[in-house]
Structure formats: structure tokens, C-alpha cells
Chain A
């Protein structure tokens, strides 16, 4: 972890090649060091945070005033830092009879703040929750007294999570968790608080800044999607090839509990949508044996999307996994107990995240938890099915090899697509697609669930969501189209497709849909734009390939001239 002075040194470095993101910082205590830490941490994640820092204790004034400096700055993110110590002072100023309603009053203010921001800007809000101070007035008995500070502050923290579930552009920075891992005395430096009204110690500031950056980068689509697991001494204790299935440590044998805990944690991540894969130097049949037969194994073969066990070089095996799953290395995490293997992989594939696991397996889970690697900006219940989707994909790959031509293969898949408008049921999944898709994404504009709902009811837009299924299973939502009506033209604001359905003729299906809609509604031409990123090279020539004509960075297609593209997908 970086320390505060290193972050401060970053401030004088060159940020000019990084993406610029405008961030406003509003606090009820002194925020200078917080702002410096955020700016400095940006250097570590290639982001140029341009920061507007409001004057001391101006949260409400800036937010309620439509013409405030805050709004003229037009921040993408507004960070609202409120401190438990200030809350405590306000609580003490509240009359005894009103203390039981203190939390509710505070939560009402939070709602007002959020709706005022939403009315005046498009900013996303990052709101700190509170480190839960027991002020010692009631001791443990505070749990039984509604008018105690502890009771009220916990009510506020829970209430903030309820509000965050409702208000889609509100994100909670969980300082309560950071406080419980640092401890109250390390979280706040009493001297800094008394002398300068700063509530975060120099020790905790880098962690706060990191987690703010974690939230922002995940909203920007930088998230982890897959874990590559070593087996011997990583997923169980011992070496399966030497020790045999009876002697590996898992469950109650030896320090097996440490490995069981890791497996439990990994399975939870799988339910959340993280793909688990195995990459092990082992004989395949031996490596699979514990998954099939060991009674204490938590993970089974059907939890693993891709199982690679052989005696080849691990670098090549990891590259193979990456190519089959078609994910970026920067969205993958490699877990291996061997510092030698880790060093080799880090050097060969620098984009891959390779945590330096502690020597003692007992510390694996606490260590991994503390890294906050799996921050996300969205979650839908479908995520739990993702492993199955990738396994089905492997089956398709096998079928593909059995056909002599691509056409035969595609017509054999029996593909059906349903075309839907955006609505509140599909909004979470659509928002997620805009956030997760990097390759088949022409303009890489990220939308939140809230944005999607606004688009759904916009008269200036026409939006489509596409599902796909074939005889092997359901892909679910795999494509979206956001069209902006501009007089006689339709501008393609977003044309995004999941990489799992590349080369299925889905892009042809979607293009046909655009033209069909344009024809049916009197639009004469379709306008496209390609905004290059490091990841979307595969769609660089999409418009050209579809015979759009280029003119000053935009691509134009006359609806009249369009010839329907061949597709193997039936419309449901």
C-alpha cells in the first residue's frame, strides 16, 4: 500500500496522458489531504482526476444552490465526505426527546441532497458512510436504547444502503469497513482532528483514496471478471501427485480449514459472476480427482469454467485460457502460492493481476479480502449463471470443429433472438453490458441503470436490447443498440455486443434491425461513429465493412441502398 507522502509526491508527476475525470470533493471537515490523496492515487491507476474542492463545511450550500461553483464545475463524480465525529456533535446538540428520530432526520437530508444533485447535474454521488463510534455513554447497553448514539449511527449506515439500492447514481464508500480493519485509533489521528479538523489519519488516507478510485474505475468498466487458480498448496494443502487424494489438506486434515475457507470465498465470487478457471502443472486426471471424489472439496468441476492441467509452460496455458474465454488479461487475477511462478507470470503478462499470496495459507483469505479486487458497479441475479454460459461456449467450440463450413455450423446452432425495448426489468443487465463490454463497443459510453431508464422513456431515442439462445443454452442479453433521432438521420449512440457471440452473425442481425427501424419510421440515413480505445480494435472497420461512407470522422449509410445482411438467427 502506498503511503501519504508517496501520493503527495505523485502530485508533481505528469498526468497529461491519462484520461481526465472531474471530481468534486465536499466535506463537513477539512478535506485538503483527502483531495491530495485522491489526485495522487489517480497516478497509480492512470487517471487524471481534476478536482474541485469546496470550501470548508459547504456541503448543503453548494448542493442546494443551482448556481453554485459545484455545478458550474460539472463534475462527473461528487464525493460527499461526512464524519462520524461531526455527526456525534450534532447528536449531542439534539434534545433528548428527539434523539430517537435523529437517524431518520439525517437520512431524510441524504435523500434531499441526492435528489437536489440529480435535479441539477448528471453527477454520480459517492457518499461516505460512518465509522461506528460507541461514545461510551451507555456502554454495551446502547444496543437496547433507541436514543443512544450507537443505535442511531448504525441505523443511519443501514439506511444509507437502503437509499443506495433505490438511487442508482448513489454509491457508498464504506468507511465503516475501512475503520473496522484499521481500528479507530489508526483511522483518526486525535491530534490532526483537534488541530486541523481532519478526520482521516495519514495512514488511512491512501486506503480511502484507493477505494474511491476502485469505485470510479469499476464504473468506468475496469473490473475483474475471472480468476485463474493454481491447485497444489493454493486450493488445497500438499501435492496431489505426491501425497494422493487421502493426504491433501482440505476440510479437517491439517490446516485444511484455511483452504476450505478460500474455496468457500471463491464459490461466493462465482455466484457473484466471477469466472473460475484452473491452471495447474499436473496430470489432468490426478488434478481432477479431488474435485470429483474428495468429500471435503467445496468447489466441484461444474464450478470451473475451464480446467487446464498439463506439464506445459504456465505462461502458454494462461494465454490459452485468455483466448478461449476471450477476456482481457487486465480483467483476470492469477492465484498461485509459488513466488517463482508468480514472478515469471508477472514478467510475461504484466497486465494480469498477480497478488503476492502470504506464505501462510491461514492468511490467504484475510489478505485477498483486504485487496478489494472485485469491486463492481453492477450486479444482477443472472451473474450467478455466468460459469454455465462459458461452459456452454466450450461445447460450441467443440461442435464448431466438427463442421466443414462456418455456415453449416451456424445454421446447426438453431439460434433465436428476442428484440426488446429498454424497460425496468432489463435495465440492470443492459447497464452492465455498457459497463463490461470493451471490445465490440463502438463508442464505449458507459451507462448506469438510472441512465438506461431515462433512455427508455426518451422521445429522442430508440433503444433495443437483444437476447440470444441456441440449442446449447441461453446467452441472455448480449446486444444493445441506442439510436438518437436527428431529423432524418438516426445516429448510432451505442452499438454494443457481448464478445461471447462474436461470429454468430449477430452483428448482421442487429444491423438489419437498425435499417428496418429506420425504414419503418421515415429515416433516410444512418450515421455511425467509431471512437477508438485500446480495446475496441475489432470494430474499427465495422462501418467500412458494412459499406458506410466516411466523411469527416463519421460514417453514413443511405437506407435506400441497404442490402439485407445474411444472418442465421431467427427473430422470436
Chain B
């Protein structure tokens, strides 16, 4: 999958999980930039991403992401 496709699909997941239709993510988007992004919502985000891309994060990975850029890298590596 092309990187821009990953961004676009990931953006859809963010819109759905945080219920914000106008949300635009960048590599730097992180938990302190989105108010609703707490530890519980993070879990929902992880699981919704897994479903969208048909991948699985390990428990450790899901705790390690500091921002969207890092997520995209891991998603890319799992899709390759």
C-alpha cells in the first residue's frame, strides 16, 4: 500500500474514533494535540486501526507510539 493511502485511511479512522469529521492528521499529531485522546480512547484507536488494515499490534507496540508518524511506520512494515 502507498504511504499516502495509509495516511488517508488512518485519517478516516481518527475521524471515526474521535467523532470529528474535520480532523486532519500529520506525522506530528499526538495524544496531547487531541483532547479526547486518553488512554482508553487510545485502545479504541488501536483496535479500530487493526480492523481497518487487517493487522495486529502487539501489546507492547500499542503502548509505544508517540505520534502518528510512528504509527504509520509500523503499519507500513506490517503491510509489507
- Whether the Cβ atoms of A195 and B43 lie closer than 8 Å is yes
A35 to chain B, nearest CB (A): 11
User: Which of B4-12, B25-33, B44-52, B69-77 has 4 or more CB atoms under 8 Å from chain A?
Assistant: B44-52
Our pick among B16, B17, B43, B57 for the contact of A196 (Cβ within 8 Å) is B43
- Interface check B19, CB cutoff 8 A: yes
Please indicate the chain A residues that have their CB under 8 angstroms from the CB of B67 in the complex: none
User: Which of A63-71, A185-193, A290-298, A484-492 has 4 or more CB atoms under 8 Å from chain B?
Assistant: A185-193
- Whether the Cβ atoms of A5 and B44 lie closer than 8 Å is yes
- Whether the Cβ atoms of A189 and B47 lie closer than 8 Å is yes
- Interface check B2, CB cutoff 8 A: no
Q: Is the interface of A mostly helix, strand, loop or mixed?
A: helix
- Whether the Cβ atoms of B62 and A5 lie closer than 8 Å is no
- Interface check B40, CB cutoff 8 A: yes
Among A5, A12, A33, A190, chain B packs the most CB atoms within 10 A around the CB of: A5
Please indicate the chain B residues that have their CB under 8 angstroms from the CB of A191 in the complex: 43, 46-47, 57-59, 62
- Whether the Cβ atoms of B16 and A195 lie closer than 8 Å is no
- Interface check A144, CB cutoff 8 A: no
- The proximity string for A residues 162-198 relative to B, scoring 1 for CB distances below 8 Å and 0 otherwise, is 0000000000000000000000000001111011101
- Interface check B3, CB cutoff 8 A: no
- Interface check A32, CB cutoff 8 A: yes
Our pick among A9, A194, A196, A201 for the contact of B39 (Cβ within 8 Å) is A196
Select from chain B the residue with minimum beta-carbon distance to A194: B59
B53 to chain A, nearest CB (A): 15
- Whether the Cβ atoms of B43 and A190 lie closer than 8 Å is no
- Whether the Cβ atoms of B43 and A192 lie closer than 8 Å is yes
- Whether the Cβ atoms of B62 and A202 lie closer than 8 Å is no
- Interface check A77, CB cutoff 8 A: no
B49 to chain A, nearest CB (A): 12
- In the bound assembly, the distance between CA atoms of A4 and B39 in angstroms comes to 17
B59 to chain A, nearest CB (A): 5
Q: Is the interface of B mostly helix, strand, loop or mixed?
A: helix
Please indicate the chain A residues that have their CB under 8 angstroms from the CB of B66 in the complex: none
Please indicate the chain B residues that have their CB under 8 angstroms from the CB of A192 in the complex: 43, 47
Interface range on chain A (Cβ under 8 Å from partner): 10 to 19
- In the bound assembly, the distance between CA atoms of A235 and B34 in angstroms comes to 55
- The proximity string for A residues 3-26 relative to B, scoring 1 for CB distances below 8 Å and 0 otherwise, is 011001100100000000000000
- Whether the Cβ atoms of B17 and A5 lie closer than 8 Å is yes
- Whether the Cβ atoms of A196 and B48 lie closer than 8 Å is no
- Whether the Cβ atoms of A195 and B62 lie closer than 8 Å is yes
- Whether the Cβ atoms of B47 and A195 lie closer than 8 Å is no
Please indicate the chain A residues that have their CB under 8 angstroms from the CB of B48 in the complex: 5
- In the bound assembly, the distance between CA atoms of A33 and B44 in angstroms comes to 10
Say whether, besides A191-B62, A195-B63, A196-B39, A202 and B44 are in contact (CB < 8 Å).
yes
- In the bound assembly, the distance between CA atoms of A9 and B17 in angstroms comes to 9
- In the bound assembly, the distance between CA atoms of A406 and B48 in angstroms comes to 66
- In the bound assembly, the distance between CA atoms of A4 and B19 in angstroms comes to 13
A168 to chain B, nearest CB (A): 36
- In the bound assembly, the distance between CA atoms of A5 and B44 in angstroms comes to 8
Please indicate the chain A residues that have their CB under 8 angstroms from the CB of B47 in the complex: 189, 191-192, 201-202
- Whether the Cβ atoms of A33 and B19 lie closer than 8 Å is no
- In the bound assembly, the distance between CA atoms of A251 and B59 in angstroms comes to 51
Say whether, besides A5-B16, A5-B17, A9-B19, A195 and B44 are in contact (CB < 8 Å).
no
B35 to chain A, nearest CB (A): 15
Select from chain B the residue with minimum beta-carbon distance to A191: B59
Please indicate the chain A residues that have their CB under 8 angstroms from the CB of B17 in the complex: 5
A191 to chain B, nearest CB (A): 5
- In the bound assembly, the distance between CA atoms of A250 and B16 in angstroms comes to 48
Closest 3 CB pairs of A and B: A191-B59, A194-B59, A202-B47
> What are 22 contact pairs spanning A and B, CB under 8 A?
A4-B44, A5-B16, A5-B17, A8-B19, A9-B19, A12-B19, A33-B40, A189-B47, A191-B43, A191-B46, A191-B47, A191-B57, A191-B58, A191-B59, A192-B47, A194-B59, A195-B62, A195-B63, A196-B39, A196-B43, A198-B43, A202-B47
15 extra interface residue pairs, beta carbon distance < 8 Å, beyond A33-B40, A191-B47: A8-B44, A9-B19, A32-B40, A190-B59, A191-B43, A191-B57, A191-B58, A191-B59, A192-B43, A192-B47, A195-B59, A195-B62, A195-B63, A196-B39, A196-B43
